[in-house]
């Protein structure tokens, strides 16, 4: 059984969109999307530097656009499950038929702008923890008022909160954690600090007309498959202020018999997690169009009938 996944913020690198725009029709599609959301996706995906594409308001729509291009180039496949990490959930909502491409890009544009504004309201951040047992780490985070914003499985936890909380935590790491590495992000995503962004997204979501998923859509909230489009959108809205439980998503993949996983562009992050947490599951990351043929072969071998 094939799982098709989309990565989240941080997966982008300067120029990563360039080879995808060479595919037939891709540049025209990106131009239409850019006009719809008033953001030059081609510029940011080909010419902008690392600092420019780190901007939350830019990175998020850029990632969704890249994921949609890569999935379209992959061609018709039949995954048993679709899912995305953080902003990748919006990409996955298109895979599942919940949102059309333009609606998804408009929603993610609102999301990125709202989260950037919320992040600017206070000095907050995120740190990746190297090592540690979740049963030890999670109570320790709570002591410092921090949120496990990403519980990614394979022993990977990302802590989020104020810069003061993160600094204090770094001075008193729990047993087994070798280091807390500050991430180059604008703020404490997936925490209460993003509550203002939830309000903005609620307004945007009210204008959507979601369809029910045509594929099994597994949610970051709890790793559960969501049956209705209305609930998918509701979870997309609340997700910005709640932890990403990618560990639970991967548990669902395993429980449902996943045998292969393909990660759309810019692939790599989720594939690496799956290699550690899902032994025996074949994985493939779409980084450039050169990866498409191998992905198509894998999809043909593992897609649902």
Active site residues: 86, 190
Determine the Cα–Cα distance for residues 204 and 115; give it in Å rounded to an integer. Answer: 14
From first CA to last CA, the distance across the chain in angstroms is 9
Q: Token pair for residue 37?
A: 């959301």
Tell me how many degrees the CA angle 166-183-38 measures, rounded to the nearest 5: 125
DSSP letter at 189 equals T
Q: Give the alpha-carbon dihedral of 255, 256, 257, 261, to 10 degrees.
A: -100
Helix, strand, or coil (residue 237):
helix
Determine the Cα–Cα distance for residues 205 and 32; give it in Å rounded to an integer. Answer: 21
Determine the Cα–Cα distance for residues 103 and 84; give it in Å rounded to an integer. Answer: 17
Q: Which long-range contacts (CB under 8 A, 24 or more apart) does 273-278 make?
A: 273/152, 273/153, 273/154, 273/156, 273/246, 274/250, 276/153, 276/154, 276/155, 277/153, 277/154, 277/247, 277/250, 278/250, 278/253, 278/254
Closest to 17 measured CA to CA, from 85, 65, 57, 60 = 65
Tell me how many degrees the CA angle 301-304-305 measures, rounded to the nearest 5: 95
What distances in angstroms separate CA 57 from CA 97, 112, 119, one per listed residue?
24, 4, 11
């Amino acid at each position: 059984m094939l799982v098709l996944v989309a990565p989240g913020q941080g997966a982008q690198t300067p120029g990563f969109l360039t080879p995808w725009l060479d595919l037939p029709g891709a540049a025209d599609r990106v131009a239409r999307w850019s006009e719809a959301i008033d953001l030059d996706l081609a510029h940011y995906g080909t010419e902008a530097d690392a600092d420019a594409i780190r901007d939350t308001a830019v990175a998020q729509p850029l990632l969704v656009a890249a994921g949609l291009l890569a999935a379209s180039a992959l061609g018709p496949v039949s995954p048993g499950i679709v899912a995305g990490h953080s902003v990748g959930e919006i990409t996955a909502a298109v895979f599942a038929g919940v949102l059309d491409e333009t609606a998804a890009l408009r929603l993610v544009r609102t999301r990125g702008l709202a989260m950037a504004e919320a992040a600017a309201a206070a000095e907050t951040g995120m740190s990746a923890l190297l090592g540690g047992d979740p049963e030890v780490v999670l109570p320790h985070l709570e002591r410092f008022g921090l949120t496990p914003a990403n519980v990614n499985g394979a022993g990977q936890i990302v802590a989020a909160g104020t810069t003061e909380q993160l600094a204090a935590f770094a001075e008193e790491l729990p047993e087994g954690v070798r280091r807390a590495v500050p991430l180059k992000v604008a703020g404490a995503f997936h925490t209460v600090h993003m509550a203002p962004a939830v309000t903005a997204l609620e307004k945007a979501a009210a204008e959507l007309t979601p369809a029910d998923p045509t594929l099994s859509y597994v949610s970051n909230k709890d790793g559960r498959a969501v049956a209705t489009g209305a609930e998918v959108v509701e979870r997309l809205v609340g997700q910005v202020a709640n932890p990403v439980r990618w560990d639970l998503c991967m548990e669902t993949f395993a429980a449902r018999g996943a045998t292969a996983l393909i990660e759309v562009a810019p692939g790599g992050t989720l594939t690496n997690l799956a290699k550690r947490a899902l032994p025996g599951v074949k994985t493939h990351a779409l980084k450039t169009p050169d990866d498409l043929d191998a992905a198509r072969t894998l999809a043909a071998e593992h897609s649902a009938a």
